């Protein structure tokens, strides 16, 4: 007798009835089908708002204690973690060790598929030792289907090492992780347009969650003023220009004055703002910022309203 038990309980592996005829659709119809599916993602992520906020609080506390955020994942999930980690230093002026990404198969897996690496449980556990995870860190495991062996073993090892752990998954989490992780972020976006292709809706949901984790934690640490990236590191002409425009807008000065202020602040936009607004030198501006735990608003008042 033929075994017809081909169903998979994971939401990411189920077939989507709304795209079952996508192979005979026109290009415009394909776009409409995919766009309609993507439109569901933001609402699903919103449903996880409290869990995401809990994870932000864990990460912020880790940073304040001198700990790190360590992402770990395989395939698309791992790449998204490394991507988010890589963006933190230029955006928020933090050292590259503060947020790191670990991907199954190593960094070569960023540009070349290493699908079998996700099944290596020993490598997942060893990766936490190689990353020197401690009880001051938060380890965020990213597993679209929730069952990735590499991620499960990494989280288990991180827990043994005393780290706080978070699982981001778009399917029902494994019982052992649901019971042991400090936070489960579980945006179940449902079946993909292409069955099992978790780089689609699951990948989009994951990217939205990771955006919130790091951005939220950095905001809570005082890395922004209003909605301005005052701790950015100007490593390109575009970022030099952005830093100067921020000082111009916030302080009401010319481009040349903004440039001189940033130079006097050894490249720090945040310090330049305090120097210009409070009419103090770099040392005093630094002291004022330190007394406010790095937050600009308590030192210089509110930023100008948008569209001033």
Asked whether the beta carbons of 262 and 247 are under 8 A apart, the reply is: yes
How far is residue 126 from each of residues 44, 75, 120, measured CA to CA in Å?
33, 18, 10
The C-alpha angle 295, 301, 306, rounded to 5 degrees, equals 100
Q: What fold does the segment set 237-300 form as a domain?
A: Helicase, Ruva Protein; domain 3 (1.10.8)
Residue 1 has a pLDDT of 41
Residues carrying an active site annotation: 87, 118
Residue 23 has a pLDDT of 87
Where the chain has pLDDT below 70, the residues are 1-8, 114-115, 308
Where in the sequence of the chain do the CATH 1.10.8.1080 domains occur?
Answer: 237-300
Q: What is the pLDDT of residues 110-120, one digit of tens each?
A: 887 766 788 78
Where in the sequence of the chain do the CATH 3.40.50.10490 domains occur?
Answer: 42-220
Residue 113 has a pLDDT of 75
Residue 239 has a pLDDT of 85
Residue 6 has a pLDDT of 55
Q: What is the pLDDT of residues 177-236, one digit of tens each?
A: 999 999 999 999 999 888 888 999 999 999 999 999 999 999 999 999 999 999 987 778
The C-alpha angle 186, 55, 181, rounded to 5 degrees, equals 65
> How many C-beta neighbours within 10 Å does residue 289 have?
21
Task: List, in sequence order, every residue forming a beta bridge with 101; answer none if it has no partner.
Answer: 71
Assigned architecture for domain 42-220 = 3-Layer(aba) Sandwich (3.40)
Residue 4 has a pLDDT of 59
Residue 196 has a pLDDT of 84
Distance of alpha carbon 118 from alpha carbon 25, whole angstroms: 33
Strand order in the sheet with 164-168: 99-103, 69-73, 138-142, 164-168, 183-185
Structural tokens at position 183:
């936070």
Terminal Cα distance for the chain, rounded: 75
pTM: 0.91
């Amino acid at each position: 007798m033929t075994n017809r038990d081909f169903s998979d309980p994971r939401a990411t592996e189920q077939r989507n009835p709304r795209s079952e005829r996508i192979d005979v659709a026109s290009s415009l119809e394909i776009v409409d089908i995919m766009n309609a599916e993507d439109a569901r993602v933001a609402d699903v992520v919103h449903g996880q708002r409290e869990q995401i906020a809990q994870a932000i609080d864990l990460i912020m506390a880790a940073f304040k204690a001198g700990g790190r955020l360590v992402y770990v994942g395989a395939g698309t999930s791992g790449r998204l973690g490394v991507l988010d980690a890589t963006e933190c230093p230029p955006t928020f002026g933090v050292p590259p060790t503060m947020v790191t990404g670990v991907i199954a198969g190593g960094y070569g897996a960023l540009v070349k598929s290493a699908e079998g690496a996700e099944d290596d449980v020993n490598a997942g556990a060893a990766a936490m030792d190689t990353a020197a995870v401690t009880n001051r860190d938060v380890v965020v495991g990213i597993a679209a289907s929730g069952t990735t062996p590499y991620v499960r073993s990494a989280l288990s090892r991180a827990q043994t090492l005393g780290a706080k752990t978070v699982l981001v998954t778009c399917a029902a989490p494994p019982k052992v992780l649901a019971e042991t992780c400090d936070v489960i972020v579980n945006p179940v976006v449902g079946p993909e347009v292409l069955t099992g292709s978790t780089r689609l809706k699951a990948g989009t949901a994951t990217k939205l969650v990771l955006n919130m984790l790091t951005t939220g934690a950095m905001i809570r640490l005082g890395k922004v003023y209003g909605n301005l990236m005052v701790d950015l590191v100007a490593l390109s002409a575009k970022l030099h220009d952005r830093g100067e425009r921020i000082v111009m807008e916030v302080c009401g000065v010319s481009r040349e004055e903004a440039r001189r202020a940033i130079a006097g602040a050894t490249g720090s936009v945040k310090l330049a703002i305090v120097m210009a607004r409070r009419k103090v030198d770099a040392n005093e501006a630094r002291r004022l910022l330190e007394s406010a735990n790095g937050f600009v608003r308590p030192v210089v008042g509110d930023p100008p309203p948008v569209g001033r």
